[in-house]
Amino acid sequence: MIEIIAQGLIVCLFLTVVPAAADELKAKSEIATFAGGCFWCMQLPFEKLNGVIKVVVGYTGGSGKNPTYDDYASKGHIEAVQVTYDPSKITYSEILDVFWKQIDPTDSGGQFCDRGPQYRSVIFYHSSAQKKAAEKSKEELLKSAVFQKPINTEIIGASKFYAAEEYHQDYYKKNPAQYTRYRLSCGRDEYLDKMWDKSARSDEGAQKNSKEELKKKLTPLQYKVTQEKGTEPAFSNEYWSNEEEGIYVDVVSGEPLFCSLDKFESGTGWPSFTRPLEPENVVEETDKSLPMTRTEVRSAKGNSHLGHVFNDGPQPSGLRYCTNSAALRFIPKEDLEKEGYGEYKKLFEK
């Protein structure tokens, strides 16, 4: 009987102490909300900060209720992150400093490769103190002359925040390779590296593709093909006979390269396309490694060797972009949205 009573007391104490602790944590925490383009890229920098309790990605700023990834933009919302932090460990001004180092505040039409009002940069203040701190921070940034163009980041009052779907939360943890490729191919890392010292950005997601890092990320064949101009075996590679609908991106940088709609059976045993999906992402170089002169094709941002282009393809282009599967990653049309290539969904809509 004594033992039962003791156990009951323990349960009773647990039920009374735990809620009290939770209430105390909630009472001393504050919320900061920011928009800076793709919310995948905005979560990690804040989660790394000492004093930040949690970071949630979602939608805010609009009037439509219960937005989803498919309709948040049409409802007037913006991709944003909600940061819960302990003000006794980190100040709002310190968090603002990290925010500025994740974005291009001069861009009023979106952020990096993500275009449209749903990707613009915004500071959503939750109090008059936050508003004052945000305005002061923006003014100091303007005076610093770091940027030669006007600062277009908006400062507006916070409204209801809707958490995004679960697969968007902690995307950098769930899909680290895709996350890194996306940041690189979108131009975010290149821009931020140019504007700020990496250590000041508090972002380990921005990784340089050094030779050693690439050897860790790629298979031996992928490395040989993309970095050493290797050629994989014909008829014995991943995509030569792939007939699924979708797009092909650089296995290193993630930049979009080719589309299944332009793929054809060339009889060579390698993936062949009549044209690039994004011409600016494919560059041509003269290749004299053989007795014959060929035209090599490489990815613009990743600088990966892809293959060669020949003038024996079908009309109307008459071109054959003969590529290595090892240089590509295929994204099926049904995965385009969640992989960060939603803009290409329209290519497959009938």
Given 12, 38, 41, 113, which residue is catalytic?
38
Q: In angstroms, rounded to a whole number, what is the distance separating the alpha carbons of residues 62 and 71?
A: 11
Instruction: State which H helix or E strand residue 81 sits in.
Output: strand 78-85
Other Cβ atoms closer than 10 A to 89:
13
- Residue for token pair 């913006």: 78
Structure tokens at 150: 């006007």
Question: Torsions phi, psi of 130, nearest 5?
Answer: -65, -40
Closest listed residue to residue 324, CA positions, set 298, 287, 344: 298
Given 41, 186, 259, 322, which residue is catalytic?
322
Q: In angstroms, rounded to a whole number, what is the distance separating the alpha carbons of residues 103 and 141?
A: 13
Residue 323, SS3 per DSSP: strand
Q: In angstroms, rounded to a whole number, what is the distance separating the alpha carbons of residues 108 and 37?
A: 11
Q: Do the strands 121-125 and 154-157 form a parallel or antiparallel pair, or are they unpaired? A: parallel
38 is annotated as an active-site residue: yes
Between helix 92-100 and helix 39-47 the angle, nearest 10°, is 140
Residues 6+ apart with CB under 8 A from 253: 181, 184, 185, 209, 299, 301, 302, 304
Q: CA 102, 108, 112, 115 torsion: positive or negative?
A: positive
Type of residue numbered 153? T
User: In sequence order, what DSSP letters do the residues of 11-60 get, joined into one string?
Assistant: HHHHHHHHHHHHHHHHHH-EEEEEEES-HHHHHHHHHTSTTEEEEEEEEE
12 is annotated as an active-site residue: no
Give the active site residues. 38, 322
